[in-house]
Structure 1
């Protein structure tokens, strides 16, 4: 994969993860499919877990800055650690299933 392809893929992964974060505490019926698609992409692209954590932290930082600009508290963003835990759990399950085959 070329460097340009890697950057495009990482931007798509970040965009997909942003949407998962936005939808995570809503009643979005397609959230499970979005998470499954995201995990499949990350798994197939062999994206390391620390990079997923980095993407999460970057997005939370962006959300925090936006909330502060709007004069709102960013304390609710702490709840989004659950999203990261959920994503990592799904990724671990994908790795576990791949190893057992």
Structure 2
């Protein structure tokens, strides 16, 4: 993938993950489908796990700054570690299933 395409792809991945984070604790009936789509895209593009963690941390930092600007506590953002754990668990399961037996 050329550098411009790679950057555009990473921006799309970040945008998709932002949507997952925002909707994670809601009753969005399409959330699991969005997670599966995200996981498949990350898996097919061979995005390393540390990069996914980096994207998560960047987004949580952005959310934290916004909450502080609004004068609100950012303690609730700690719950979003569950999102990261869920995403990584799905990714691990996809890797496990892809191994030849």
CA distance in 2, matches of 1:57, 1:32: 21
Aligned residues: 101
Give the distance between the partners of 1:24 and 1:100, measured in 2 at CA.
Answer: 32
Partner of 1:90: 90
Give 1:17 shift. 0.1
Distance 2:94 2:100 in 1: 10
| Structure 1 counterpart of 2:74 | 74
Deviations 1:36-74 (A, max 9, x none): 000000000000000000000000000000000000000
Cα shift at 1:100: 3.5
Root-mean-square deviation (Å) = 0.7
**Consecutive unaligned residues in structure 2, runs of 5 or more:** none
Task: Give the TM-score, by structure 1 length.
Answer: 0.99
Secondary structure, aligned partner of 1:26? coil
Structure 1 consecutive aligned stretches of length 4 or more whose deviation exceeds 4 Å: none
> In the alignment, what sits opposite 1:6?
6
